[in-house]
Amino acid sequence: MLVRFTKMHGLGNDFMVVDLVTQRIRLSEDKVRKLADRHLGIGFDQLLLVEPPTNPEMDFRYRIYNADGSEVEHCGNGARCFARFVRDKRLTNKDVIAVETANGKAILTIFPDNQVEVDMGAPELLPKAVPFVAQEQSAVYSVDVESQHVDISVVSMGNPHGVLVIDDTDSAPVETLGPLLEAHTRFPAKANIGFMQILSSTEVKLRVYERGAGETMACGTGACAAVVAGRLRGILDENVKVHLPGGDLQVSWKGGEKDSVMMTGPAATVFEGQVFI
């Protein structure tokens, strides 16, 4: 079956976006992995499916699959591309779009300058909600990794994150420590691992080793989790500029457990294509 898709990215975190409003397909985990392959397939960090909502109060349903084929709960960069996609395809003419995600919703606001703001909802900080194995909630946990103790904050933005504060992102052990923490037994559902360098109380540098995809050029939920972690540690203010390898995101969190994390950044379309599924 020939399927139309659009290749997009948010700061280099790249996506294959498929409209399932006007076309119907079924994808196995194995098929997602084959499509994600950067030599044998289309190549992407995540696959985004755009569907009619199951909840009538929502405009669309948004399903997300990592390159390893695993379905996940949220994708911040993908949400911005989702908004750009549904407007460019004239699936809606709204500037504010309510999207149903695997375990909640996201409100997307499109601005004329091509920036998109995402209301990412409130962070989940209870260990069992992340999920993370711990006796009680804390701003920082000590995790044993290969005979070393690593201090880590844990946050769910719908998807699980561990955040480390390090001195220098350029020399951070992302490729070695990232996969060890991603698959650590204290993260029963695995986790995205952020390495954050504090530049000031309003500016950080961040690299993220993503669950199911490896290090990406940017991670929207990772940027949100990093700002929440920094605020919980008392080292970041409400509005923070997050410098990722692929570019910058603006993230805000008032600090209340019910307060939404707001993320603003760009979304870009690279090419349109068709592929036999």
Q: Write out the residues near ligand API by the rule CB under 6 A.
A: 13, 45-46, 66, 72, 75-78, 159, 192, 210-213, 216, 219-222
Nearer of residues 162 and 230 to ligand API, judged by Cβ = 162
Radius of gyration of the chain (CA): 18
Name the residue nearer to ligand API (CB basis): 91 or 102. 102
Q: Determine which one of 17, 164, 219, 267 is catalytic.
A: 219
Residue 36 · residue 47 · CB < 8 Å: yes
Least distance between ligand API and beta carbon 38 (Å): 16
Shortest distance in whole angstroms from residue 187 CB to ligand API = 11
- Report in angstroms how near the CB of residue 56 gets to ligand API at its nearest: 27
User: Is 211 flagged in the annotation as binding?
Assistant: yes
What one-character-per-residue DSSP string does the chain give? -EEEEEEEEETTEEEEEEE-SS------HHHHHHHH-TTTS---SEEEEEE--SSTTSSEEEEEEETTS-EES--HHHHHHHHHHHHHTTS---SEEEEEETTEEEEEEE-TTSEEEEE--PPB-SGGGTT---SS--S-EEEEETTEEEEEEEEESSSEEEEEE-S-GGG--HHHHHHHHHT-TT-TT--EEEEEEEEETTEEEEEEEETTTEEES--HHHHHHHHHHHHHTT---SEEEEEETTEEEEEEE-S-TTSPEEEEEE-EEEEEEEEE-
114 is in an annotated binding site: no
Could you tell me which of 50, 84, 86, 64 has the C-alpha nearest to residue 219? 64
Residue 93 annotated as part of some ligand binding site: no
Give 119 or 201: the residue with its C-beta nearer to ligand API: 119
Query: Closest approach of Cβ 8 to ligand API, in Å?
Result: 12
The residue type found at 29 is: E
**Catalytic residue flag (residue 219):** yes
Which among 152, 163, 138, 180 has a CA at the least distance from the CA of 225? 163
**One of 8, 47, 64, 75 is an active-site residue; which one?**
75
Binding site annotation covers 159? yes
Residue 77 in marked binding region: yes
220 is in an annotated binding site: yes
Identify which of residues 121 and 212 has a Cβ nearer to ligand API in the complex: 212
Q: Which is nearer to ligand API, 159 or 169 (CB)?
A: 159
Q: How far is the CB of 218 from ligand API (least distance, A)?
A: 7
Sort residue 220 into left (φ over 0), alpha (ψ -120 to 50) or beta: alpha
* Numbered residues of the known binding site for substrate: 13, 46, 66, 76-77, 159, 192, 210-211, 220-221
- Please identify every residue annotated as catalytic: 75, 219
